[in-house]
Chain A
Amino acid sequence: MSGIQLDRLSKHFGSVAAVDEVTLQIQDGEFFALLGPSGCGKTTTLRMIAGLEKATAGTIKIGDRDVTTLAPRERDIAMVFQDYALYPHMNLLDNIGYPLKVRGIPRAELQQRVTEAAQSLGIDHLLNRRPAQLSGGQQQRAAVARAIVHHAQVFLFDEPLSNLDAKLRVEARGFLKHLQRQVGVTTVYVTHDQAEAMALADHIAIMEQGKVVQMGPPLEVYHRPRTTFVASFLGSPPMNLLRGQLDLAARQVRVNNAAISLEQFRGWDRLVEHAQQNVNVVMGIRPEHLTIAQHEIPQSLTGEVYAIQPLGAESLVIVQIKGEPVSVRLFTDDTPQFSGRVWLAPDLQRVFFYHPDGELIA
């Protein structure tokens, strides 16, 4: 087992940089998620780690070995694809055992190891079925079983759950994380589903246009997004982002004609520094850090109730402020009873200010 190091790894397709100088340290045995929208370069990065794409520049190390130019089979990895890639002409035993077969493992040992892998995923009773005779969830488990059967140093997952329906997906998250903890193999997991990445990973790296924009433990990234892109990608619904102007003299920020005092704000100095060049900022606030009231409260924004969505443990209130939707999350047992004009007060300890370009100021 071993960690992975990417050093200024790039991949160009013609003049397009699909992956642009990505540098990452993935620790031995950790569950690492590459998260981003489609086309951000996460899958290309994974495929370069696998050796299925040639790197244009940069290096890839697995453990102490520089594998940048090695063929996939020399890298000692296992990969699960989005479509599972189970061979329709082989039964499950042969499918899961295929990595062992090509390594010349004797049939008896192959059968034993396949059975063990299948047992750990609860599909050992299906070994003489063909993939077409299995459900989506069973196929997905079979693909994972094939990945763990030959004890590779690194697991690579390319959106392995996105072909499952919502309920199975949540279930599969559970067994994937449990399994990874059990075998303790360094895992790189590509997904566009932020909830999946947060739920599974020890560290996540968020990619945008071929670059890693932020990396860290999921909650750290969630609670301190470094750009508006990250802020708007993590969380469901994501962070509310509102344009505003700083008023240095009054020590406040104006958002849609409401003025909010920043007397107590922790990062006022940095805002002052920023305001010397540009008074425009973007204020970010998570839906759970807004207080909503039917009557006017101090330090608040005002808008009209647009929709109320009870979700069970929590409820969402969508408020329109000057045509822009702002989400508020409430943890109540009852359906919130708001209507018409409401006031929203942000928790100033939890507010972030971003440069209009997207960079975090404070």
Chain B
Amino acid sequence: MEQKPPILSWQSGALFLVPAFLFIAVFLLFPFVWIFYLSFTNQTLLGANAANPQFVGFENYARLFDFDSWLNRGQFGSALFITAQFVIGSALIGQVALGLALAIVFFRRKGILRELVYVLVIFAWIIPDVVVAFSWVAFLNRDEGTFNAILSRLGFGRPDWQLEHALLSVILFNTWRGTAFSMLLFSSALATIPPSYLETAEVAGASAFQKLRDILLPLLQGHILTDLILITLWTFNTFSIFLLTAGGPAYRTEVVSIYTYRIAFQFFDFGQGAAIAVVVMLINLALALIYLILLRRQSVYT
């Protein structure tokens, strides 16, 4: 192929890149390197180590992976385990699966039900975090909450959601909160499938299940993977649970992001907090890599 001459010389091209690069350097690269450095020190906010932090090697990391106690509540292992449940529950089963199901159920349908569901789901997505959190706290309140008012009318009693089913309620909350993104992504992906694909299958004699399995899901594969990457990473790093439960009761909803916050900004143990941040970063990287490899493998036909 003939190579076209570039519009700009490389010098002026580089000049245009400088502002963006500076921005990235100051707000991304520098903190990244700084965190990495901090994680090998005993830097704190107050006390002797605040002024003269010492290099402590892998001590911070060793403390994280102290396998005698790490699954105890409030420890790193426990936070990871809770995060895993939270991600599987609210990201994979909740947002991605529910979003996909909604998009498919309402695919090529019109009518008031579809509009109503879409409006409600998107509404849950666009309200500011703080408002949502407070309304959920009110919704789930044991004595005054709407949810229990409904349940008790139906004869299910009045469980204390925030205490007895704390993790379940934050999983429900986050599913409710974020399903709109997946639903919209899958809806627009479905809209790009030519009608003739499904009509051909219909004429050929395929049942609804066969159409889903043989045509819709394979064609959505790429979108499903992309959505999985995004939702998993967002859910892994989300902090909005803090507004609902602050990680409690007794660390039972303390996911890794809240754990990091507690160590770094409530105990002011910056070195330890930095070590957690580095581990979390590596986990995120690993997740992203797995998805990207899968994505590359399935995109051979396009």
B-binding residues in A (CB < 8 A): 50-52, 71-73, 75, 77-79, 81-85, 87-89, 98-99, 101-103, 130, 132, 146, 150, 156
Contacts and interface: CB of A to CB of B under 8 A. Distances in A.
Nearest to A94: B214
Contacts, number: 71
B216 to A, nearest CB: 11
Contact of B196 (A72, A73, A81): A81
B57 interface: no
A74 to B, nearest CB: 8
A130 B203 CA distance: 22
Interface stretch (B182-190, B205-213, B223-231): B205-213
A211 B206 CA distance: 33
A85 B302 CA distance: 15
Contact of A132 (B194, B221, B301): B301
A72 B201 CA distance: 10
B197 A73 contact: no
A83 B203 contact: no
Nearest to A103: B205
Nearest to B199: A52
Interface in B234-252: none
Given A79-B203, A81-B200, A89-B218, 14 more contacts: A50-B203, A51-B202, A72-B202, A72-B203, A73-B207, A79-B199, A85-B194, A87-B218, A88-B219, A88-B301, A88-B302, A89-B221, A98-B201, A146-B200
- Chain B interface residue bracket vs A: 20 to 34
19 contacts: A51-B203, A52-B199, A52-B203, A71-B202, A73-B202, A73-B203, A73-B207, A77-B203, A78-B203, A78-B204, A83-B196, A85-B194, A85-B196, A85-B199, A98-B206, A99-B204, A102-B204, A146-B204, A156-B203
B163 interface: no
B197 A87 contact: yes
Nearest to A98: B204
Interface of B: 194, 196-197, 199-207, 210, 214-215, 218-219, 221, 301-302
A308 B218 CA distance: 56
A103 B201 CA distance: 11
Contacts of B194: 83, 85
A136 to B, nearest CB: 16
Contacts of A81: 196, 199-200
A311 B147 CA distance: 81
A81 B200 CA distance: 8
Contacts of B302: 88, 132
A321 B210 CA distance: 63
Contact of A89 (B202, B206, B207, B301): B301
B299 to A, nearest CB: 10
B210 A52 contact: no
A77 B200 CA distance: 11
B231 to A, nearest CB: 23
Contacts of A71: 202
A150 B201 CA distance: 13
Contacts of A102: 201, 204-207, 210, 214
A262 to B, nearest CB: 52
A146 B205 CA distance: 13
B274 to A, nearest CB: 45
A89 B219 contact: yes
B255 to A, nearest CB: 37
A52 B197 CA distance: 12
A216 B41 CA distance: 92
Contacts of B301: 88-89, 130, 132
B77 to A, nearest CB: 41
A85 B197 contact: yes
A31 to B, nearest CB: 19
A73 B199 contact: no
Q: Top 4 nearest A-B pairs by Cβ distance? A: A99-B204, A85-B196, A73-B205, A81-B196
Contacts of B201: 98, 102
Contact of A79 (B197, B200, B221): B200
Nearest to A52: B199
A78 B218 CA distance: 23
Contacts of A99: 204-205
